[in-house]
Amino acid sequence: MVWTPRATVAAVIENEGRFLLVEENTGQQPHNVFNQPAGHLEDGESLIDAVIRETMEETGYEFCPTALSGIYRWIEPVSGDTYLRFSFTGELGQHHPDKPLDDGIIGPHWLTPQEITALGTSLRSPLVQRCIDDYLAGQHYSLSLLTDM
């Protein structure tokens, strides 16, 4: 068996003290869950292009990444799958409310850090809270850390 980590991206977007989260039905949990706009890196795609695409597909918002806020390794306890998450922060652009969202996406929500913490087991993974905590702690790294070759 070949071990293959799953590369994902996430957008940590704050506006007036609230963070943009996505409510989704993954079909795996017994209830809807909340996540940052996030998803898998596609073949031939840069990490920056992936987070721009995922944010639009899941929220209808344009997103311009300005910093990397963290890189995380997480092993999902049930499946044993390893995820490498690249978390970005940046500028929110125009909203396209009529754009159809990805399958399973219920819709975007703007929540305070306290409201997010209160979601507890309704967060898709512990990465959601950790990414926000690290953002609030001031973790912002230059996008020049990323190199596509």
Residue 126 CB contacts under 8 Å (≥ 6 apart), including other chains: 74
Per the structure, how many domains does the chain have? 1
Residue 1 lies in a domain: no
pLDDT at res. 15: 96
**pLDDT tens for the chain, residues 1 to 149:** 788 999 999 999 999 999 999 999 987 767 899 999 999 999 999 999 999 999 999 999 999 999 999 999 999 999 999 999 999 999 999 999 999 999 999 999 999 999 999 999 999 999 999 999 999 999 999 999 999 98
Residue 61 lies in a domain: yes
Cβ 22 vs Cβ 109: under 8 Å? yes
**Can you give the CATH number for the domain in which 132 is found?**
3.90.79.10
Residue 45 lies in a domain: yes
97-130 pLDDT per residue, tens: 999 999 999 999 999 999 999 999 999 999 999 9
pLDDT at res. 31: 84
Give residue 100's domain range. Answer: 6-145
pTM: 0.94
Residue 36 lies in a domain: yes
pLDDT at res. 132: 97
- What is the spatial distance between Cα 139 and Cα 27, in angstroms, rounded to a whole number? 33
3-state secondary structure of 82: strand
- What is the spatial distance between Cα 65 and Cα 91, in angstroms, rounded to a whole number? 6
